[in-house]
């Protein structure tokens, strides 16, 4: 349900759009908007599982003290479970030999979906204490079929999280801006070089120019798959870290 300030915003958007685009063009855009899928309003997962993973938290409202980190952090928005399942199935791996990490796990929806698969472990890494707390509450309230992996929550900056010495699936739903992504790729590459035997896969959701440009600076991360979608939010790319020994 929209609050009164968002209705006022909507009135202003419509008035100013009519001034800019004219009545008919504005009406066409409004109809498209009304018919479109709005991920922040999608409560289907929560209705089924007794959780609260919906809504959107803009960057300005994320409780992150360090301002330069804050402005390189992207908003909270949960991925649809169907999308997560598709990404995991597309990896064609034996999940029982992998640890799954969601970098920027928010309220935890991806973690529950990943735990439908028999990963060795599923870990959520989230910088916002408020979102981390929501994920903790969701872990308690979750109802549904028994999950096949255990879920761990870690609250802090993804740059400080120490990766397990295991085969890894490092899921990212466009969590940070390019400066932090660069630091993350340096960190992940260094971890991979310490144990070149293991596989490190990164399914990157909302794979847009800015993130692709960062990955291109790191040739060790090979592009394995690149899928488009009518909704840009769900275009995704799979990278695999290939160390020199491969």
For residue 31, how many other CB atoms are within 10 A of its CB?
10
Beta strand 76-77 with 98-103 is unpaired
Strand partners, 239: 202, 223
Does 127 bind ligand SAM (CB under 6 A)? Our answer is yes
Contacts of 201 (CB under 8 A, 6+ apart): 91, 93, 98, 168, 169, 170, 224, 238, 239, 240, 241
Does 234 bind ligand SAM (CB under 6 A)? Our answer is no
Question: What does the per-residue mask of binding to ligand SAM show for 147-186, with x meaning CB under 6 A?
Answer: ----------xx--------------xxxx---x------
Cβ at position 237, least distance to ligand SAM in Å: 15
**Residue keyed to tokens 């390019």:** 178
* Rg of the chain (C-alpha set): 19
Q: Which of 99, 128, 134, 207 binds ligand SAM (CB under 6 A)?
A: 128
Please identify, among the stretches 11-19, 27-35, 77-85, 213-221, the one whose residues bind ligand SAM according to the rule CB under 6 A: 77-85
Does 79 bind ligand SAM (CB under 6 A)? Our answer is yes
Please identify, among the stretches 44-52, 100-108, 187-195, 212-220, the one whose residues bind ligand SAM according to the rule CB under 6 A: 100-108
Q: Compute φ and ψ for 96, nearest 5 degrees.
A: -70, -10
For residue 19, how many other CB atoms are within 10 A of its CB?
9
Please identify, among the stretches 3-11, 31-39, 67-75, 215-223, the one whose residues bind ligand SAM according to the rule CB under 6 A: 67-75
Instruction: Please give the residue ranges that form the binding site for ligand SAM (CB under 6 A).
Output: 62, 69, 73-74, 76-79, 102, 104-106, 109-110, 125-128, 131, 157-158, 173-176, 180
């Amino acid at each position: 349900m929209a609050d009164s300030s968002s209705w006022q915003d909507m009135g202003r958007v419509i008035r100013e759009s009519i001034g800019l685009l004219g009545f008919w063009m504005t009406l066409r855009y409004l109809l498209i908007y009304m018919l479109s899928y709005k991920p922040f309003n999608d409560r289907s997962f929560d209705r089924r599982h007794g959780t609260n993973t919906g809504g959107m938290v803009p960057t300005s409202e994320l409780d992150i003290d360090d301002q330069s980190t804050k402005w390189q952090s992207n908003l909270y928005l949960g991925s649809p479970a169907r999308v997560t399942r598709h990404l995991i199935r597309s990896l064609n791996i034996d999940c029982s030999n992998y640890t799954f990490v969601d970098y920027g796990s928010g309220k935890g929806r991806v973690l529950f979906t990943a735990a439908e698969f028999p990963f060795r472990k599923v870990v959520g890494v989230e910088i916002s204490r408020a979102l981390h707390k929501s994920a903790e509450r969701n872990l308690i309230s979750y109802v549904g079929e028994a999950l096949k992996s255990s879920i761990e929550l870690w609250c802090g900056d993804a740059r400080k999280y120490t990766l397990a010495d295991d085969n890894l699936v490092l899921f990212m739903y466009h969590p940070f801006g390019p400066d932090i992504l660069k630091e993350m790729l340096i960190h992940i590459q260094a971890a991979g070089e310490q144990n070149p035997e293991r596989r490190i896969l990164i399914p990157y959701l909302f794979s847009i120019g800015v993130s692709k440009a960062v990955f291109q600076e790191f040739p060790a991360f090979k592009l394995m798959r690149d899928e488009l979608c009518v909704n840009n939010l769900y275009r995704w790319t799979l990278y695999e870290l290939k160390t020199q020994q491969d």
